[in-house]
Structure 1
Amino acid sequence: MRQINVDWFRLFRYSLLFIAFSAVVTIVMLLYFSTSLDEALRKGLMLTLEELEISFELSLTLFIYISFPLLLFRFMYYFSKMLYRGRLEGVSMFSYKTLFNPMNFLLFPSLLNPDGLLYRRRCLLALLLMILIYLIIILIT
């Protein structure tokens, strides 16, 4: 069994990156809704906690709508590579071994070669992240 290692510094960098992204979205919103740069600076200095929370939710929503199609494309890309390059010799896409469903390659790793196992891991990671995005969307609304 593989050990699961959590890279805390990498997670910290991603959280800092999201905070910077939220700050940029807040600045862009201030500049867009202000008539001049002086007004934007004055509004920026007088932001309330509620306005910052709204800005955070908007940046999270923007992040979700950008990352979901990318994760979907990542899943489709690695799933197609898994189907064409990751199967063992003699295992077809539609056979009794896969129960005539190619999605079952994700459930039965014994039908995959080492490259297919790598592609399967990447597919499952993309699916897990998409599910987490759905949960975040549900929690926001």
Structure 2
Amino acid sequence: MSEQSVISERSTVVFHFDIKLSDGSAAESTRVHNKPAKLQMGDGSLSPAFEAELLGLTIGDKKTFTLAPEDAYGMPNPDNIYYVDRSKFSADAPAKVGTIIGFAMPDGSELPGLVREVVGDSVTIDFNHPLAGQTLTFNVEIVQVS
């Protein structure tokens, strides 16, 4: 086995993952569309705790591990909750509880927000990651290491 095929702090890793909530229900999976994720270890896109679980794995390895909210998607941030006037919503994108709506950002990107509550003319929008605050179980399968 070459040194290249073992995941280190500088590896680029292609892997499949499945995420399950603490009740065992499925939250997300790269297998649905057979599009594995790609990660540059150490780039900050995933938590240090997640990366630590991958260190030492090789192509074909499978591993299951559970991360606390702080080590997965973090805890919900109250600063990411916004109150928007109901008149800002259109018939095409009505303010209905449970709906995820994309909001245009100044740089042209789109930020998804979850409608949490509608009271009178006030709509509560949550911009936290939907899995924030959740203890999650990850099943990973390493596809490629470089």
Q: With structure 1 as the length reference, what TM-score do the two structures score?
A: 0.28
Greater relative contact order structure (CA < 8 Å, 6+ sep): 2
TM-score (norm 2): 0.28
More strand by share: 2
Who wins on radius of gyration, i.e. which is larger? Answer: 1
More helix as a share of residues: 1
